[in-house]
A and B are shown apart, each in its own frame.
Chain A
Amino acid sequence: MARILPEPTPETRHFWDGCRDGELRLQRCTDCNHTYFPPRAFCPSCASRKVEVYAASGRGVLWSYVINHRPRQDMGTEPYAIAVVKLDEGPTMMTNIVGCPQTPEALVLDMAVKVRFEKQTDDISLPLFEPAQS
């Protein structure tokens, strides 16, 4: 069963194009310098429309998660972590943690993680995260 995938909208297209091209893109307000996610055409902090897209570091820390023991059909048969990472630039983002066991022992809060793009289709790559040397 094919994995459930996102369908980009005009406001989010730059993000998914970035994932396809191997770049984690965030938006920043050029008036108040606030970085935010998910994408939108204005700053949620000051409502300015003067915002820019930039390439983020792709680094962050594991902020919180659960390990789903009743896997969704398209996600395989083994338990997997559904995680939120806190990016170095500030925003939080849901993701999966790859490249390590899906156990409480391996998944330690505040451990450093970095993005790893996993291609799903020609258009869509998902921004997953893996443990990083901090």
Chain B
Amino acid sequence: MKQNSVAVVGAAETTKMGKIPDVSVIGLHADAALNAMADAGLKPSDIDGVATAGISPVELAHYLGIKPTYADGTSVGGCSFMLHVRHAAAAINAGLAKTILITHGESGRSRVGAGGFGRAPSSLMGQFEMPYGVTSPPTMFTIPVLRYMKTYGVTEADLANVAVVQREWAALNPRASFKDPITVDDVLNSPMIAWPFRMLMCCLVTDGGGALILTSADRAKDFPQKPVYILGTGESVETPLISQMYDFTSSTAFKISGKKAFDEAGISHADVDHLMIYDAFAHLPLYGLEDLGFCKPGEAKDFIRERNTAIGGKLPLNTNGGGLSYMHSGMYGMYALQESVRQMRGTAAAQVKDAKISIAHGVGGMFAASGTIVFTNEK
């Protein structure tokens, strides 16, 4: 895409976060959308493009009374919103729409108006994975990790440390679900979920939502908020089956998406001031740091242990507390994008001083898909 040609002019999360038993899935989408429209000073009639995952863009548009010229229902899991941003940027440049709303809402915890989790027994997952006792993501997303650990000498304590450092960030965020400090021992003594994964290495399950509004950079300066420009974007998809991941020690989709985003943005790793890596589980930031090229294979554990990603480090990572401590409704990518936008606006709870470039990198499914957005607040 064309660098800095499109900007985020509206961004907001749901009014409440965590446990919201009185709002359904579609209601969470709408709450986030209304908050983002208020943030941008817009009404539904000002929106001419919609994108969402989890529900259909048809449901979203009709619920809000939007009659769009552009609809994107890309649904590849939790990074769908990164792909929506990418597609929206291209669509705005191509003249398909002027002002695009992207929403997420999920009743992950309360399950109000939420569908079930299941796969048809004739699908590839139904035939070749479900019979062996997989349940929810903790028993699938985690399967490659022992191979990664053996290949690079990564220990359970290294995995635990990812959660410990992110809790330090969460402590600075009033909206984070978990704020109390934890130690590596706390993580290693938390209940076993799917060996080698303990509870505190797994994301939260909460309710919430978020929404973004994008328009052309030319129009963006007329909006009330400081524009956050889209400098580069990437996406890729890999496999619907965790057992068929090309390489158990690295995400091919991460590498492709990340490289494309860096190339589009024309930046080097040293230019990045702030980073979000979708952390459904503690191994995701390790794979992400390596596959995006911030660390060599096997070195992310040391990079985190040496506190490069912690408060005061050279590469602040998951500064909202992440899926491990902030919130995780099921498709967390929207919250990573929201934190990148806050950092670029200068309004984050744990604000990185003078940050000019932020990357939000997402995963979809169990290493099934990936999306990467490079933001900047300078044009």
Contact residues of A with B, CB < 8 Å?
A: 3-9, 12, 16, 37-38, 63-72, 74-75, 79-80, 82-84, 92-96, 104, 109-110, 126
Contacts and interface: CB of A to CB of B under 8 A. Distances in A.
Instruction: Give 3 closest A-B pairs by Cβ, nearest first.
Output: A6-B127, A94-B243, A7-B121
A110 B140 CA distance: 20
A12 B128 CA distance: 10
A84 B243 contact: yes
Given A6-B128, A7-B120, A66-B138, 15 more contacts: A6-B131, A7-B121, A9-B127, A37-B244, A38-B244, A66-B139, A66-B197, A70-B135, A75-B133, A82-B132, A82-B139, A82-B140, A84-B242, A109-B146, A126-B131
B45 interface: no
Interface of B: 120-122, 124, 126-135, 138-140, 142-147, 150, 191-197, 241-244, 248
Contact of B134 (A9, A69, A79, A82): A82
Nearest to B150: A109
Contact of A7 (B127, B129, B143): B127
B135 A72 contact: yes
A82 B143 contact: yes
A69 B144 CA distance: 17
A5 B140 CA distance: 18
Contacts of A83: 132
A96 B143 CA distance: 12
A3 B131 CA distance: 7
Contact of A64 (B129, B130, B248): B248
A74 to B, nearest CB: 8
A80 B197 contact: no
B134 A92 contact: no
Nearest to B127: A6
B241 A94 contact: yes
B128 A93 contact: yes
Contacts of A71: 133
Contact of B132 (A38, A69, A70, A94): A94
B106 to A, nearest CB: 21
A80 B133 contact: yes
A65 B134 contact: no
Contacts of B134: 68, 72, 82, 94
A32 to B, nearest CB: 17
B127 A64 contact: no
Contact of B135 (A8, A38, A68, A95): A68
B133 A12 contact: no
Given A38-B128, A80-B133, A109-B146, A5 B121 contact: yes
A82 B133 contact: yes
9 contacts: A63-B248, A66-B139, A67-B194, A67-B195, A75-B133, A84-B143, A84-B243, A92-B243, A126-B131
Contacts of B143: 64-66, 82, 84, 94
Given A7-B121, A69-B195, A94-B241, A64 B131 contact: no
Contacts of A109: 146-147, 150
A131 to B, nearest CB: 17
B126 A7 contact: yes
A24 B124 CA distance: 17
A94 B121 contact: no
Nearest to A75: B133
Contacts of A104: 195-196
Contact of A63 (B124, B147, B197): B147
Nearest to A96: B132
Contact of B133 (A37, A68, A92, A110): A68
B241 to A, nearest CB: 7
Contact of B146 (A8, A64, A79): A64
Nearest to B120: A7
B185 to A, nearest CB: 19
Contacts of B150: 109-110
